[in-house]
Structure 1
Amino acid sequence: MDRHDDLARRIRLGEDSELELKQVFFSGNRVVGPRRDEFADEMAAFANGGGGTIVLGVDDKTREILGVPLEQLEVLEAWVRELCNDAAKPPIDVVIRKLELPNSTGDLVPLVRVDVARSLFVHKTSNGYFRRLGSSKREMAPDILARLFQERSQSRVIRFDESPVPRTSPDDLDVELARRFMRDGAEPLETSLRKLRIVANDEDDVPRLTIAGVLLCTQEPQRWLPHAQIQAVSYAGDRKDVNYQSDARDVGGTLDVQVMEALHFVRRNMQVWATKSGARVETAQFSERVLFEALVNAVAHRDYSMAGARVRLHMFGDRIELYVPGGLANTLTTDSMVLRQYNRNELLVSLLARCSVGANQGLGRSYLMDRRGDGVPIILDESEKLSGRIPSYTLIDDSELQLVIWSALPTATSVSTAAIKALVSALPYVGVGLEQDSGVVDQNALPAQNASAEGAAGAEHDASEEHSISDEDDSATAEDPHQTADKD
């Protein structure tokens, strides 16, 4: 679709979080509408948020394309550039384009398009600090403003994950946990901890553990950072309903422990389907490798400055929803995540890249973090192969990232191992052929019942006879020959 056609379509749909429409009024060679401060606020709101487009020459109420007088285009462009430079601090970078679109009678009329990119800085106008919410701008609350400065301040030298944590001391450190990140050598422990930025001095020159130090090198990080955990909930259905909540857990501990424990939570609650077509084939509801990548990304890239906000993992019958606190770092977008890489928490990422996954996990890597940035492509590609649907990333209010991973679907000939377990439990020889550790039942190992010499009517069964899925219900109700013998 031509970009002009796309813009015309967006105008017809009206204003949203990325589009603002403005009618322009002139008095001689002077712009008198919109008001200077109002227009500056709109540009700053887009720059402080995810960016957006302002179209000048359109009635925002009726969405009618009115146009801008051809002889006034240069005046309007100069007016916009002046406001970008003088009405906001720091100045706002924009791209100004002139174009033509058909009005209600089909005649082409000039318009001015102003594209405002998501900024690396926080912009203030004479009216304050604004951000875009839906189709309108809102003045930012102090806590939101503080987080935005933390994310974007060009003058920040120390990243948030390197910040000292109040009320901590080096004595709170678990040395064995810290040694995971140290190289062998004769260097003193304190020197190594400072080089790794696990310990840093606060503004009073008192040594403290850093955010990264607390999250990876203490036995109970939630003592100082109670929001640094994963809330995991499983629902028996496809919607969020407390009445159908089947399992729940708040996963704490160091970040590597959180990842593996959350993965274990999913393993415990997801289905595995068995299909027999020649060799036995088992299909898990979700790819463990995909979930591992998603969980590692969540704890590595979330915004730890958002007190009270946890990573949330919600399991449903047809999907998993993962919610990660924080907007996208720098100028990253949901569309560019697969192509670009940006780390909000450089120190955490560096340390997680040295943190061993452990043996025999079957996750395709030895360390938690892959510095090459392959996580998102793995999530998208492997999920699509399993479920036939591409996972979706959605940014919610520029403060939380949602990832939806779709479940694989059983085939017509597959049987849930959970269903087989329930069936086996009804048989006389409870548990025969049940591999408790793996959570998988071998259909060929279901018990064959032998008629005893003392059994009824001399009915005999071949001791090697196997029970198929179709005749298990009849088997479950057959009289146990051993019970008959006991009666005799």
Structure 2
Amino acid sequence: MTAESQNIEFKLTWRDEYLKWICGFANAYGGTIFIGKDDNGNVVDLKDAKKLLEEIPNKVRDTLGILVDVNFHQTEKGNYIEILVEQYPYPVNYKGQYHYRSGSTKQELKGAALDKFLLQKKGKRWDGVPVPRVSINDLKQETFELFRKRAFRSQRIDEYGLDDNNEHLIENLQLKEDKYLKRASILLFHPDPEKFITGAYVKIGYFESDSDLRFQDEIHGNLFEQIEKTTELLFTKYIKALISYEGINRVETYEYPIEAIREALLNAIAHKDYSGGVPIQISVYKDKIMIWNEGQLPENWTIETLLDKHSSKPFNPDIANTLFRSGHIESWGRGISKMTEQCFKYGLPAPLFFFKSSGFWVEFRKDIYH
């Protein structure tokens, strides 16, 4: 018995609306549709199988503009046909609608999901899309100076390149396409990215319980500013420090390792899906901290993939490259292991990582019993 899956669909009879399913397979990873089988994959006999053998390829070609193989099968239980659909490198539409196979279901892509799909089919990522009517002069000089200082210390960019003017620096960072700045350059260097990108900020809240919010803050500005301001605010207002003395020297020991929290924040900023229009959200409780960003795991990845040694596959490659050059992040996919190591050094349990609906969570716990 075979179940429906990412690449397999069963239908009892043929209906022309199933062209949408073919469209979905072509836009995803390809697959096979069996006509004349029930949901469990049992043959139920397709009376007009031979007729459909000729009709379906023509309907697919005329409606979708693609070619499929249709095969006839004869068994003791009856006849059925299989439609073999290849993955297509360009977007396929059904009467102006774009359908996509996800798991064992078909969905029509709309809004931000459709924009993302079309960009990927063109070999582009969201942060690499050019933005008209913005110039180098609109970007923040102080942020360029901050980047140069950090990049000089990290030694991840040619020293002579740091002496170039801002325009050449943007070009060297691949943050420009022809005469237009990319979205990544707006997020990284513009004084107010939210003029162009809704929800491009960080929100922090302190909760006594899930329903009891005591106070909150919002951190705006470009991504470099958000990184510094958010880290500072968390460790001056939200996270307590134990005070001790070594001789006459005052020593502050925070409840959570700064390096681990900062790494989680950097991951959220680098991998966030900025097309969703929702800010990064940091929820602080008396016994835990939870950091959330909208986004998706890479195709065919699971949480287990992240916990194992893995390659780096940033959701926003242009943003991630610039953060790497400035020394903020690495390019080896070691962020999760670094967070875990820092927590163990602090005597804390390993952070939890989980993915729900449209977002990714990191949870730091104060002790192993909570």
TM-score, normalized by length of structure 2?
0.68
Match of 1:349 in 2: 320
Q: Distance in 1 between matches of 2:269 and 2:87?
A: 24
Secondary structure of 2:325's aligned partner: coil
Instruction: State which of 341, 350, 354 in structure 2 corresponds to 1:393.
Output: 354
Q: CA deviation at 1:370?
A: 0.3
Q: CA deviation at 1:394?
A: 1.4
Q: Distance in 1 between matches of 2:320 and 2:184?
A: 10
Secondary structure of 2:197's aligned partner: coil
Match of 2:249 in 1: none
Secondary structure of 1:236's aligned partner: strand
Match of 1:423 in 2: none
Match of 2:328 in 1: 368
Count of aligned pairs:
337
Secondary structure of 1:233's aligned partner: strand
Q: Distance in 1 between matches of 2:89 and 2:34?
A: 23
Secondary structure of 1:294's aligned partner: helix
Instruction: State which of 178, 191, 197 in structure 2 corresponds to 1:225.
Output: 197
Evaluate the alpha carbon distance shift between residue 36 and residue 253 of structure 1 in structure 2; reply closer, same or farther with a 3 A threshold: same
Which amino acid letter does the alignment assign opposite residue 269 of structure 1?
Answer: Y
Q: Distance in 1 between matches of 2:296 and 2:279?
A: 14
Match of 1:473 in 2: none
Q: Deviations over 1:101-121 (max 9, x none)?
A: xxxxxxxxxx99999999876
Instruction: State which of 163, 173, 177 in structure 2 corresponds to 1:196.
Output: 173
Q: CA deviation at 1:183?
A: 4.4
Q: Distance in 2 between matches of 1:402 and 1:163?
A: 24
Instruction: State which of 222, 231, 236 in structure 2 corresponds to 1:263.
Output: 231
TM-score, normalized by length of structure 1?
0.54
Q: CA deviation at 1:288?
A: 3.5
The answer on whether the counterparts of 1:215 and 1:255 sit within 8 Å (CA) in structure 2 is: yes
Which amino acid letter does the alignment assign opposite residue 149 of structure 1?
Answer: L
Match of 2:43 in 1: 68
Which runs of structure 2 are paired with 1:69-84 in the superposition (5 Å)?
Answer: none
Query: What percent of counterpart residues are identical?
Result: 21
Q: CA deviation at 1:374?
A: 0.8
Q: CA deviation at 1:199?
A: 5.0
Q: CA deviation at 1:44?
A: 4.1
Q: Distance in 2 between matches of 1:410 and 1:320?
A: 14
Q: CA deviation at 1:245?
A: 0.7
The question of 1:148 aligning with 2:124 is answered no
Secondary structure of 1:394's aligned partner: strand
Root-mean-square deviation over aligned CA pairs: 4.9
Q: CA deviation at 1:55?
A: 8.0
**Which moves more between the two structures, 256-265 or 42-51?**
42-51
Q: CA deviation at 1:18?
A: 5.9
Match of 1:408 in 2: 366
Secondary structure of 2:199's aligned partner: coil
Which amino acid letter does the alignment assign opposite residue 368 of structure 1?
Answer: H
Q: Distance in 1 between matches of 2:226 and 2:137?
A: 23
Q: Distance in 2 between matches of 1:408 and 1:173?
A: 40
Q: Distance in 2 between matches of 1:84 and 1:289?
A: 58
Evaluate the alpha carbon distance shift between residue 148 and residue 129 of structure 1 in structure 2; reply closer, same or farther with a 3 A threshold: same
The answer on whether the counterparts of 2:344 and 2:350 sit within 8 Å (CA) in structure 1 is: yes
Q: CA deviation at 1:302?
A: 2.0
Q: CA deviation at 1:371?
A: 1.0
Q: CA deviation at 1:372?
A: 1.2
Q: Distance in 2 between matches of 1:271 and 1:115?
A: 60
Q: Distance in 1 between matches of 2:60 and 2:185?
A: 42
The answer on whether the counterparts of 2:36 and 2:46 sit within 8 Å (CA) in structure 1 is: no
Q: Distance in 1 between matches of 2:223 and 2:159?
A: 23
Q: Deviations over 1:173-220 (max 9, x none)?
A: 333432415744365554343333445554xxxxx5432322222333
The question of 1:171 aligning with 2:141 is answered no
Evaluate the alpha carbon distance shift between residue 119 and residue 336 of structure 1 in structure 2; reply closer, same or farther with a 3 A threshold: farther
Instruction: State which of 21, 28, 34 in structure 2 corresponds to 1:42.
Output: 21
Q: Distance in 2 between matches of 1:123 and 1:407?
A: 46
Secondary structure of 2:117's aligned partner: helix
Q: Deviations over 1:121-155 (max 9, x none)?
A: 644235721246897544332443123212x1235
Secondary structure of 2:274's aligned partner: coil
Match of 2:262 in 1: 292
Evaluate the alpha carbon distance shift between residue 273 and residue 34 of structure 1 in structure 2; reply closer, same or farther with a 3 A threshold: farther
Q: Distance in 2 between matches of 1:50 and 1:224?
A: 33
Which amino acid letter does the alignment assign opposite residue 10 of structure 2?
Answer: K
The answer on whether the counterparts of 1:230 and 1:258 sit within 8 Å (CA) in structure 2 is: yes
Q: CA deviation at 1:347?
A: 2.1
Instruction: State which of 160, 181, 186 in structure 2 corresponds to 1:214.
Output: 186
Q: Distance in 2 between matches of 1:309 and 1:301?
A: 13
Q: Distance in 2 between matches of 1:47 and 1:383?
A: 45
Q: Distance in 2 between matches of 1:53 and 1:164?
A: 38
Q: Distance in 2 between matches of 1:331 and 1:66?
A: 25
Q: Deviations over 1:14-60 (max 9, x none)?
A: x8x96986353xxxxxxxx143541x423544665799997877644
The answer on whether the counterparts of 2:22 and 2:85 sit within 8 Å (CA) in structure 1 is: yes
